[in-house]
Amino acid sequence: MKKALLAILFLAVLSLPGAAAGEKPHVPVIVMTHPTLSQVKNIVEMYEKDVLPLPELVLLGIYHEDELRNEEEAEAYQEAFAYVHDNKLDWVRFRKISGRVEADGLFRENAWTPQFREIFAAADGFLFTGGMDIPPALYGHKTALLTEPTTPARHLYEISLLFHLLGGGRNPSFTPFLAAKPGLPVLAVCLGLQSLNVALGGTLTQDIPSELYGLATVEEVLAQDPDRIHSGVYLEKLDANDPDLAPPFHRIFLLPDSAFVRRMGIVADATPEVATSHHQAIDKLAAGLRATALSLDGRIVEAVEHLRFANVLGIQFHPERCALYQKGLRQRRGPGAALDFNPLAFLKANPPSYEFQRAIWKWFADALLAEPGLGAR
């Protein structure tokens, strides 16, 4: 079964999408990192529910060959390949990144550069997804006891790809790919935001509860105000066998000087609710980035925009989770709670939370369809 699925995978990536003269209009291509089953399903369901408002779409999931050496990661990819095959999703394709580059070679032309160029030539936008912790050595720190850098192959190529796209202070002489398409959208979610910050020269706080709030136990974390709880892993530690636990939601503060706030039509100083799942966060903000949203206490950077490329957005929360847009879904807010929480109803009951999630995806869809040289603020 696994060999058959890999054969399907390789056939799917033989040709990248494009349009020749006389053919139908170009179909926008989203390049997405870490295309596991859950990530692919998120895009499929948002596309089908018109949360991602595009008439047509190609999703090109990219991953590094060494990720398949990790048993858990390999299983997650096999599930994605099977889901795409079984549901005949011919608009979802995969592309393997081959070869190895050491940490000291990430911020210059390397063995991956030709592959990155091919992918960039086909792309109308990039989506960097969530995941496990970045090895702290990549931002010059030692590894804290609570850090879990379990997917190093992924982080190496994703951080190098972000550097190739955006350039930055790690190698100022490098000409970034986006210089040729400055309006091309890049949306970096959760780990994606952290990778974006590291790729441009920033650093991370390795554990929010212990480093920022001085907390040592799960019970102490859960006793905090909800706006200070950033990860559902603490609920799972108390009831790991409950599949119906909802992710925690907390409010964020949208900064009034944010170009994205203005462009998305959301009132500055608003405090929308967002789904959250992270124990790390930006520490030193990289040069070239501006914070556009913070946690309510101001301790966590919740969103950033790029100072040069107007359609680059990094967010620490999760508007891509398809559970946010399902009318009939019922979840629990905590262990032992009633099975009566619907995330969609919750967002709609706390404006502009629902409008904010939808505005992010409308911005992304509009930018995918725009001319690549555009992108004025």
pLDDT at 151: 96
pLDDT at 112: 98
Query: Over 80: is that where the pLDDT of 1 sits?
Result: no
pLDDT at 23: 60
Alpha helices, H only, the chain: 2-12, 37-48, 71-86, 113-122, 152-166, 191-199, 208-213, 218-222, 233-238, 259-264, 343-349, 353-369
pLDDT, averaged across the chain = 91
Across 80-89, average pLDDT: 98
Across 11-27, average pLDDT: 55
State the pLDDT confidence band at 22, using cuts at 50, 70 and 90: low
How confident is the model over 223-266, as pLDDT tens digits? 999 999 999 888 888 877 788 999 999 999 999 877 778 888 87
Q: How far apart are CA 258 and CA 270, in angstroms?
A: 12
How confident is the model over 171-201, as pLDDT tens digits? 999 999 999 999 999 999 999 999 999 999 9
Half-sphere exposure (CA, 13 Å, Cβ side) for 223?
Answer: 7
How confident is the model over 285-340, as pLDDT tens digits? 999 999 999 999 999 999 999 999 999 999 999 999 999 999 999 999 988 899 99
Quick one: three-class SS letters along 237-301?
Answer: HHCCCCCCECCCEEEEEECCCCHHHHHHCCCCCCCCEEECCCCCEECCCCCCEEEEEEECCCCCE
What residue spans define the domains of the chain? 1-12+26-206+252-262+273-328+354-377
Q: How far apart are CA 78 and CA 17, in angstroms?
A: 23
State the pLDDT confidence band at 19, using cuts at 50, 70 and 90: very low
pLDDT at 13: 44
pLDDT at 359: 94
State the pLDDT confidence band at 131, using cuts at 50, 70 and 90: very high
State the pLDDT confidence band at 144, using cuts at 50, 70 and 90: very high
Question: pTM (2 decimals)?
Answer: 0.93
Query: Over 90: is that where the pLDDT of 376 sits?
Result: no
Query: Over 60: is that where the pLDDT of 202 sits?
Result: yes
- Residue 235 CB partners (closer than 8 Å, separation 6+): 222, 245, 248, 334, 335
Q: pLDDT exceeding 90 applies to what percent of the chain? A: 82
Query: Over 60: is that where the pLDDT of 165 sits?
Result: yes
Q: How far apart are CA 57 and CA 210, in angstroms?
A: 42
Compute CA distances 147 → 151, 206, 262, 331, 348, whole Å.
Answer: 12, 6, 36, 29, 35
- Residue 35 CB partners (closer than 8 Å, separation 6+): 59, 61, 62, 63, 77, 80, 92, 94
One CATH from 3.40.1160.10, 3.40.50.300, 3.40.50.720, 3.40.50.880 for 1-12+26-206+252-262+273-328+354-377: 3.40.50.880
Query: Over 50: is that where the pLDDT of 2 sits?
Result: no
What's the one-letter identity of residue 151? T
Compute CA distances 65 → 74, 97, 111, whole Å.
Answer: 10, 6, 14
Strands 301-306 and 289-295: antiparallel
